[in-house]
A and B are shown apart, each in its own frame.
Chain A
Amino acid sequence: MADMNKNPIEFKADDFVLVQEGMRIQDKKFETKATTFMKDAFKRFCKNKSSVIGAIILAILILCAIIVPIVSPHNITQVNSSEKFLAPKLFEPKVKIDPDNIVIGQSANGKGTVEKGFWDGTRKYTHIVFNTEAGVPALSDKYSVAAIKRSLTDIYVYPEPELVDVRSPFGEGGAIVIETDSEIANNDVYMISKNLTFDANGNYTVEIVFSSDTSIDENPEDIGEPVEGEEPAEGEQPAEGEQPAEGEQNPDGEPAEEQPKGKAVLGTYRVYIKTGESEADWIMIRDFSKNYSKISFNISEALAARGLTSVTGQLVFDVKSAVGARQYILVEKVLFGSNENVSNKEALEAASFDDATAMINIADKEDPGYWACSGRKGIHGSSLYYCDYVLDTYMLTYGDADLVTYTKTELDQWIADGWCTYDPKVGPESFVRLSDECPVDSVESQTVLGVTGKLSSITARGWNYRKMGYTEMPKFILGTDVSGFDLFKRAFAGLRTSLILGVCTAAFCFLFGLLWGAISGYFGGNVDLLMERFCEILGGVPWIVVMTLCILHLGNNFFTFFLALCMTGWMGTSATTRTQFYRFKGREYVLASRTLGSSDFRLILKHILPNAMGTIITGSVLMIPRVIFSEATLAYLNLGLQGKQSFGIMMANNQQYLGIYPNLVIFPAIIIALMMISFNLFGNGLRDAFNPSLKGSD
């Protein structure tokens, strides 16, 4: 031996030190800490970041599912429809406008749009009719104007009114459309007033203004051109009915008829006074055959010309129908005039109208005899203001502070409960609110029984939520559903049921599958063959069929679900176990143990199972999300779990509101998706941890 410089290297005995002497290395105890299979797996699991995140999310969700249904005070069992469809609320909304002073065409942000706050219990509505009279958007009659005003956080009323063919109590102007059916002959349409009395001395006049707007018709060819060459009401046209001579004598025609601007009136039409049912009783006033934008005539003069002094009847505008063409009139205004001193001036004023929308609303609602019409009656070109607005749904539901009358019994109960004090002798000022539970804030007035002077009722202001039994304005983080249930609590209560079901099923399937798979895999041969055939048959039935049959026979309760899910679930575990047993039972260490005389039981439990455990546990954990999914799927098929809060039933019921209230579907969907994703991440992490060789194979 020599080094680089060819100098011989000498070895001395001292240079060598025995690594060990006496004790053998295999007898020495490890200085490092011993680790078990599980600990090792846990260490590997912790290194996998995504799985740890999955596990954390999962833990949070499970904790929520346990805690939320216990802690949350909201009711999720008794339907309370007055609280339905509240928006999700976490923060307090900010009011951007002055609700008492809404300016048309001005928005709070100056951009002509409304802004909805983030997660503040508000909901945005677009293109809603604006009630110009009350200065608020037109909402259901259930809500008072004051409540709506308090609830508005932002509003933008479009600067220009829109002309629509919609009957709305908040519209204005427009014209009444009376239309014939083009398919039917002799189907005259008419507009008929209430009974009115006219006499020859009252100087009764009537002016009818027709709309010149012709945009109503979508089939212009149906309208046809106005008849040319026929002079209006000159008498050449033989009048219908029993009064042929009235044309020449008609003094009111010439000055009043203006040239038509459009095609508002089509075909021939007549004006007469209907004094009785038979046609002989009709007194023809005029017969027109051309389009006019306005006609006016003097009824008194027409009557005088016929030698009549006083007539009581209904004034009728009658449009002759024509087959194959739509005939209609668009009446904008009807104005009666008379001498100052006639007795029925009020009735005439009531029969006059210059706002067709207002008239049609009265005729619709209050007085059906008011300008009755035959044929299709509608409104055209009614001008309506529309708006976009953002509304605090909580304020609308709970914030109504309108006057409410409470009986003495109720008041006495509150006093007895110590919620307030009240002295009827002093009156409303004596009201003192002692408890937050008292539904009344202040008393406005009291009613006493006339004779005895005893208190009978009080009229007071209070907030709705106090009436509903809340001490403060409630807050629903995810909003409420159609039954007024808190979505947040309901979702987690449902999730809890699903989780319990999942864990129970997974536990049963784990144990049973393990047993079955172990026997089948360990013994092999004919035992295995028989057991496998059984699995094949049971496993060949789609799970939905098994579940459906179970539910149909045993009803959709918790136990049936458990049973049915177990019936389909254990085969997965058993197959995994069987494969693992096949894999490990031939290994040398098993053989060695067998040679040493281990029993089958010991071999299975002590030697094979611990090695196969990781894969089996992973399979069992991943069964829980499958159970949740199955339960929800069945709910969508109307077979959902009854008698307990069910996540699936909640989602399936809310599905129909996807278009209007998407939060009812989206939030539970996010929760369940999060649950599934984290379960998968967790399961994958578990598998990688137990069996590192499978890592990355997804």
Chain B
Amino acid sequence: MGKYVLKRIGLAFLTTFIILSLTYILVKLLPYERPLGGDPIQIAYFDKQYNLGYVGRYEQEMPELGKLLYKSPAFHGRSNYYYQVPVLKQYVNWLKNIITRWDWGVSKTYQPNVKASTIIMKRIGYSIRLNILSSVWAVPVGLLLGIWAALKKNSITDHIISTIVMIFIAIPSFVLISFVLRIFAYNLGWLPSTWPPDTASTWTKIKGYIIPVFCLSFAPICGYCRFTRAELCEVMESEYLLLARTKGLTRRQAIVRHALKNAMVPIFPSILAEFIGILGGSMILESLYGIPGIGKLFVLSLNYKDYDILFVDMAIFTTIALLAGVVTDLSYGFIDPRIRMGAKK
């Protein structure tokens, strides 16, 4: 088991490393954007970049090095000329900076000269809070609906639940958000139509959570419900459940002790994966509702062409996705030792 875990984690780490490296190089190959602001900001930025090894500093123009990034104002009759160093060299320096100083870069245009990690840390809290809340709400609701539908299989209840779930799975999230906003924020006026600012009253802030949590949890609720129903239905038709009934257990006992337990084997890892997966937040929801989370940051950094921030944001999304995969596989292995994902087929 230990070997399996180590192998799985090592592999995931390698994948993450390769993906992040490729992404970094691709982002660095984009046209260079200078930071916004006057000379002090530019000088501070370029000197820092020079020290970190991302740009070269010269005392005269070097046309063979490519486009001049910045020419500092003359000081004692001399100017500094800054040029980009080759991307692969930047990449090596970037790796070095991450390992030695945990330096993920600075913002250029969005908040000039602010560390990327600072910006992310300020925003990630909103996304995490929102997603934990929606998971806390979605998991029980989804499971209960799924169990209910499975127990009443082929009855009218099951059909209604299945149809509603099917419809909600099919409707894109931005459509759903539009409808919810229209009905609850505009028509009825019960809830705020945008994310309340930090200065708002506690009551308004609480109300501000309702729409995003509601919208974020729609898809997981439907997913859990469908998955649970399918698994439970399968288990209910199994022979060991028939045996359980024949040996004298009541339906309730059989379901609680045998069916549910076995049905949870594949469901539990998916809950874990979902939980990690939605830490990334929903970009659409965050930009439509104006939530200052990392999903909104993605859109903002794109609009500002602030590619360092964009890269860090993308790195978070990638890492979260890979982490979710690893956790799913590992939890499968722990819950049901017969299953070893990645084992020889």
Q: A residues bordering B, Cβ < 8 Å?
A: 536-537, 540-542, 544-545, 548-549, 552-553, 582, 625, 629, 632-633, 636-639, 651, 655, 658-659, 662, 665-666, 669, 672-673, 676-677, 679-681, 696-698
A659 CA / B229 CA spacing, docked (Å): 38
B19 touches A (CB below 8 Å): yes
Chain A nearest CB, measured from B157 CB (Å): 16
Is there an interface contact between A549 and B26, defined as CB atoms closer than 8 Å?
A: yes
Known interface pairs A549-B27, A696-B233; A541-B172 also in contact (CB < 8 Å): no
Residue in chain B with minimal CB distance to A582? B345
A537 CA / B23 CA spacing, docked (Å): 12
- CB within 8 A of B229: which of A658, A680, A698? A698
- CB within 8 A of B314: which of A545, A658, A677, A696? A545
Residue in chain A with minimal CB distance to B310? A548
B182 touches A (CB below 8 Å): yes
Is there an interface contact between B345 and A672, defined as CB atoms closer than 8 Å?
A: no
A676 CA / B167 CA spacing, docked (Å): 9
- CB within 8 A of A672: which of B162, B175, B310? B175
Which segment of B59-67, B105-113, B118-126, B315-323 sits at the interface? B315-323
Is there an interface contact between B171 and A633, defined as CB atoms closer than 8 Å?
A: no
B88 touches A (CB below 8 Å): no
A128 CA / B30 CA spacing, docked (Å): 53
Residue in chain A with minimal CB distance to B342? A532
A669 CA / B172 CA spacing, docked (Å): 9
Is there an interface contact between B18 and A655, defined as CB atoms closer than 8 Å?
A: no
Which segment of B256-264, B298-306, B330-338 sits at the interface? B298-306
**Can you give 14 contacting A-B residue pairs, CB < 8 Å?**
A536-B15, A540-B325, A542-B317, A549-B23, A549-B26, A582-B345, A637-B283, A637-B302, A638-B302, A655-B174, A658-B182, A672-B175, A673-B167, A673-B170
A553 CA / B26 CA spacing, docked (Å): 8
B30, B174, B283 pick with most chain A CB within 10 angstroms: B174
Known interface pairs A632-B172, A636-B174, A655-B178; A542-B318 also in contact (CB < 8 Å): yes
Residue in chain B with minimal CB distance to A536? B15
- How many B residues are at the interface, by size bracket? 35 or more
Is there an interface contact between A673 and B182, defined as CB atoms closer than 8 Å?
A: no
A679 CA / B234 CA spacing, docked (Å): 26
Known interface pairs A582-B345, A662-B182, A698-B162; A677-B171 also in contact (CB < 8 Å): yes
Would you list which residues of chain B between 174 and 197 have a CB under 8 Å from chain A? 174-175, 178-179, 181-182, 186, 193
A145 CA / B307 CA spacing, docked (Å): 55
B230 touches A (CB below 8 Å): yes
A638 CA / B303 CA spacing, docked (Å): 8
Is there an interface contact between A537 and B15, defined as CB atoms closer than 8 Å?
A: yes
- By a CB distance below 8 angstroms, the chain A residues around B287 are 636-637
A698 CA / B159 CA spacing, docked (Å): 12
Would you list which residues of chain B between 29 and 79 have a CB under 8 Å from chain A? 29-30
A552 CA / B27 CA spacing, docked (Å): 9
A568 CA / B259 CA spacing, docked (Å): 37
A253 CA / B245 CA spacing, docked (Å): 106
The list of the 9 closest CB pairs from A to B, nearest first, reads A676-B170, A677-B170, A669-B175, A673-B171, A680-B170, A545-B314, A697-B230, A665-B178, A542-B317
A655 CA / B345 CA spacing, docked (Å): 49
Chain B nearest CB, measured from A476 CB (Å): 21
- CB within 8 A of A553: which of B19, B30, B280, B288? B30
